[in-house]
Structure 1
Amino acid sequence: MRPNIILLIADDHRFETLGVSGCEGIATPHLDALAAGGAHFMRAHCQGGMHPAVCSPSRASLLTGRNIFAASQDPGGLHFGGKAFAIPEDMQTMPQLLRQAGYRTHAIGKWHNDRASFARSFSSASKVMFGGMSDHDRVPLHDFDPTGEYSENNAVIGEGFSTDLFREAAHEFLCEAANDQPFFMQVAFTAPHDPRTPPLEVAVSPKAVTLPANFAPAHSFDNGEMLVRDELLEAVPRDPEAVRQHIADYYGMVQHLDHAIGKIIDTLNETGQRENTVVIYTADHGIALGQHGLMGKQNLYQHSVQVPLMINGRGFKPTVREDLVWHADTAATILDIAGVPSEYAADGTSLIGPTHTEHLFGVHGISQRSVRTERWKYIAYLPNPEPVMGPSANGRTSRGCFAEQLFDLDSDPCEMANLIAQQDLRNVRSDLIESLFAWQRSVNDPLAERTREFLKGAGE
C-alpha cells in the first residue's frame, strides 16, 4: 500500500528554535518527538529569492524541486507580486504529479503562489488563505473551488486563531479520508509569522529570553534591504528589551504551532492512519529577530536561510543527519516516497538514501549572493543601481554597498567573525567564488555577470 504523506510547513520558523535543537526558553515536545522518531536534518536550507517576500520563491522551490529562477514566471523578480509569485504554467508541481499518480491531494492554509498552479495541484482543499499574511484572528479563507478561480470576493473571515483553524481543517480531512486512496495533505501554517500574537496560554515572558550571541543594535553596513517592511518593525538601534519581547512572542507562536501539530498526530493515531503515513515538517525560511542587527529574512545569514526539516515515517529510521540539503531535495523525497520518478524535481536529490552535496547557494534580490560548504560560507554584497526601498518619508534610501564576508561555520556558527581579509584563506575564497560563478551561469541568474564584474574588480 502506498503511504499517505503529510507536509507541514511553518512560516518564518528558523532552524534552531526547537527544544530538540537546544533552544532554551521554548517547549516544543511534539516537534521534538517527531524529530527524535525519524530523520532530523540539521542542515536544511531555503535558497532565498529575488524579492522581499522570500516565502513565495522558497515555496515554489519546495513545490517544484527547482531553483528559484526556474520556479518563477519572472525569474528577474522585477515585478513584485503577479508573475514573480507565479510558477511557470508548463511546470508540473510536486502535488500535481502526486495527483496524476492517483493520490488525493488536499491543501490547507497559506498559499503564496499563483491560483492557477494551486488549482492544478490539488484535488480538494479547505480553509485556504491566498496571500502573504493576515491578522491571525482575521484570516480570509477559501474552501475548494472546482472552477480554480478562488475569487477574493468568496473569501470568508475565519472564526478563531489561524493555527487552530488549520489544525481543525486537518482533523476534519483525516477523519473523512477514505482508506482506498492514498492522500497527500499539505498544511501550510501562517505561524510564527507576524503579527505575532500568541494566545495567552502559550505566551512566553521576555524575562525568560536570552538574547542570541550575535545580537547587535544595527547591521554593520547597508545590505540593500535596510528599509524593507520587516526591518521597520523595530527601531534602530535595536533596543535589547524590545528584541526580547519580539523573541518571546515568536516563541509563543511556535509553542502554539507545536501544540497544533501534536493534535494532528493524535488524529492520525485515532483514525489508524499513523503507521502508513509519512509526516514531514519544515519551514519556508527563517528570520533574524535581532541577530546581526536585523529583524527580517531579507538576508543570507544562517538564521534566515536554514530551516527545520524532519521526516518521520516508513523508511526513515531515527537518525540525526548532517547532509547539506534544501527545499528541492524535500520535493524529490516526497515524490520518491510516493513511487513517482523523483527526476521530475530536477534540481533535487531524494533523501531516502545517503546524499552528498558539496555546495549550497543563496540568493537575495539584486544585492546578495552566497555559497556554503560543510565548513565555509561566503556572501557577496553588491550596490543596487537604484534605491530598492526609498526615498522614504525622511529621505533615507537603502542602496546597498560592495562587501564580502567569509565565515568558518565549524568554529563560528553564529557568523560573527568575518575572515575575508585573512591572507591564508585567499584560496578558500577563490574556490567558493568560482563555484558561485558556475552555479549562477547554470541557473541563468540575471546577476551573474554583475557579480563577476564586482568581484574581479576586488582582485578575484
Structure 2
Amino acid sequence: MSRIVPLLLAACLTAAAADKPNIVLLFADDQRADTIGAWGNPHIQTPNLDRLAREGFSFKSNYCLGGNSGAVCVPSRAMLNSGKAYFRIPMDLDGEKTLGEMLRQTGYKTYGIGKWHNQRPAWLRSFDGGKNVMFGGMSDHTNVPVEDLGPDGKLKAGDNQRRFSSRLYADTAIDFLESYHDDAPFFLYVAFTAPHDPRQPPLRYRQMYYSDRPPLPRNFLPQHPFDNGNMAGRDEELGAWPRTTAMVSDQLAEYYGMVTHLDEQVGRVLQALEAHHGDQPTYVVYAADHGLAVGSHGLLGKQNIYEHSMRAPLIVRGPDVPAGGSSETLTYLLDIFPTLAGVAGASAPQGLDGADLRPIWLGRSKSVRDSLFLSFRHLMRSVRDERWKLIRYPQINHTQLFDLQSDPYEMKNLAEDPAQASRVSRMMGMIADWQKKLGDDQPLSVANPQPKEIDMTGHKRTPDRWQPMWLIEKYFPDWL
C-alpha cells in the first residue's frame, strides 16, 4: 500500500500537468523598446516581432527596475527569474525559487538555451535539460563559449560550430521543438545574446542599414550634460567623445542589423513551434532585459535610467490573449514570474514584488501599479507615474524632472522651475516610499557632493577582448 500512494500521486500530477499550456520565453539582450516596427519604428525591419505583436498583447511601458552593477543584465535576469527586486535577492539566486524551478514542480519539463548570467547552481535547479548555454555576460557572437547538460545531470563543454549566437540558439530551440514528444507541457527558455555588443551582425544585416540609415536619436548629444557617475564605464568607452553623428549613425546601423538578424531567428523558432506543437495551447513571451542608449543623451550604454535604457519590450501571445491588444500600464520584467505562475496554475512563492499581468489582457483591470521605481547602483534613483518622471543623482545632489507627455525624449529638465517645486518634493517622497518598500537604503543626498561638470574629450579608451578586429579598427584607431 505504501508504494501505491506515491504512484497514484504521480499519476494524478501527470494528468493535471497534461492539461497545462506550453510556455516559450524568448529573451533578448540590450534591446530598446523602440526597435520593433509594430511599436512605431518605421526604420527597422522586424517582421516576426511585428507579427507577434499583431497576434499577441503588447505591454508598451515595461521596465527593468535597475541594477547594482554596470552589468545590468545580471540583476535584470535575477529579477526575471525570481519575481523580486534586486535589493532583496542574491545575484546567484541562492535560496530563491526560480521561475524554472517553480514550473518543474508544477509538472513542466523545462529546457534552457542561451545566456544565463546567474551562476550554474541556479540554472541546474531550473532546467531538466539544456544545450548551448552561455554562463557569462558577453562574447564574440561567432564563437560563444557554451555548455550542454549531459544525461548524468552534469554540465560539459558544448560545440558552437562557430555559428552566430542568434542562429545557434534558434537552431537549438528548433531541435528541441522537433524532438519533444512528452505528454508533459514544456517550458522553453531561449535567452539570446543579441543585440548586446560586440555589434557585429552578419555583413548582409549591417549593410542593410549602412545603405538605409536609421535617423539619429531625437535626444542625440555629443556629450552627456553632467557627470552621472558612470561616464567612463565600459559601455561608454565603445565610442570616442565627443560623440559624432557619423559614429552614432554607424553604431545604430550595426545595432539595428543585430536586431533584424535576431528577429529572423525568432521567426524560425515560432515557425517550428507552430509546425510541431501548433495544436497545443502555448503561451509565447518575448521580452528583453533592458534597453540601451546608442547615442541618446550622449551615452552609449544601459547604465542610466533614462527611458531608452530602462524600457524593454514585452509581448505575450496565448490562448486567452486578445490579438493586437496593448496597454501603457506601468509594468516590470519581474511581473513575468507571477504572470507565468498564473498561466501555469503554479503556486507562486510568497513575497514577490511582481504583479500578475493577466487581468490587464483579460480586460479585468487597467493597471497593476500607479508608479514605477528605477535605480542604478548608488548613483541614480527615479520614480515615474503615467506622466511625470523624476531622477535623482545622490552623489552630485542633482535632480531632473521630465513631463513625459510633452517631452518623451527627456530633454527639458523642469526640476528648477518654481512652478514644479511641490511636484519635485512629492516625487522625492515617492522615491523614499519605494526605497522603504524594496529595502533600498541609499541616501538621496550626500554632504560632500562630487562636481557635476565633466568633459570626456580625449579620454583614453581600451577595447575589451570580445571586440573583433574590424570593430577595433573602426572605433579604437588610436589603440592600434
Contact kept, 8 Å, 2:111 with 2:127, in 1: the verdict is: yes
Please name the residue that 2:72 is paired with.
54
Contact kept, 8 Å, 2:209 with 2:256, in 1: the verdict is: no
Distance 1:183 1:155 in 2: 23
1:434 pairs with 2:437 = no
Superposition misfits of 4+ residues, deviation over 2 angstroms:
145-151, 154-159, 200-207, 272-275, 341-345, 452-455
Residues 454 and 347 (structure 1 numbering): CA distance in 2 closer, same or farther, change over 3 Å?
Answer: farther
Contact kept, 8 Å, 1:94 with 1:345, in 2: the verdict is: no
Distance 2:266 2:434 in 1: 37
Please name the residue that 2:264 is paired with.
259
Distance 1:48 1:148 in 2: 34
Q: Deviations over 1:289-330 (max 9, x none)?
A: 000000000000000000000000112112111110001211
Query: Which of 401, 411, 415 does residue 416 from structure 1 map onto?
Result: 411
Contact kept, 8 Å, 2:97 with 2:349, in 1: the verdict is: no
Residues 367 and 254 (structure 1 numbering): CA distance in 2 closer, same or farther, change over 3 Å?
Answer: same
1:115 pairs with 2:120 = yes
Please name the residue that 1:368 is paired with.
380
Equivalenced residue count is 422
| Mapping of residues 174-323 of structure 1, within 5 Å | 174-203=177-206, 204-206=208-210, 207-273=212-278, 275-318=280-323, 319-323=325-329
Please name the residue that 1:104 is paired with.
109
For 1:202, the aligned partner's letter is Y
In structure 1, list runs of 5 or more residues that go unmatched: 73-84, 384-400, 456-460
Q: CA deviation at 1:147?
A: 6.5
Contact kept, 8 Å, 1:332 with 1:344, in 2: the verdict is: no
Query: Which of 167, 171, 194 does residue 170 from structure 2 map onto?
Result: 167
Percentage of matched positions with identical amino acids: 42
Q: Deviations over 1:417-445 (max 9, x none)?
A: 10001112222112211111111122221
Distance 1:63 1:146 in 2: 24
Distance 1:454 1:179 in 2: 62
| Mapping of residues 373-452 of structure 1, within 5 Å | 373-383=385-395, 401-447=396-442, 450-451=443-444
Contact kept, 8 Å, 1:265 with 1:274, in 2: the verdict is: no
Residues 454 and 200 (structure 1 numbering): CA distance in 2 closer, same or farther, change over 3 Å?
Answer: same
Distance 1:289 1:344 in 2: 38
| Mapping of residues 58-97 of structure 1, within 5 Å | 58-72=76-90, 85-87=91-93, 89-97=94-102
Query: Which of 343, 351, 354 does residue 337 from structure 1 map onto?
Result: 343
**3-state SS in 2 of match to 1:220:** coil
Answer with 1 or 2: which has the greater Rg. 2
**3-state SS in 2 of match to 1:116:** helix
Contact kept, 8 Å, 2:209 with 2:257, in 1: the verdict is: no
Distance 2:262 2:351 in 1: 29
**3-state SS in 1 of match to 2:125:** helix
Contact kept, 8 Å, 2:357 with 2:368, in 1: the verdict is: no
Residues 345 and 105 (structure 1 numbering): CA distance in 2 closer, same or farther, change over 3 Å?
Answer: farther
Distance 1:425 1:249 in 2: 40
Distance 1:227 1:125 in 2: 37
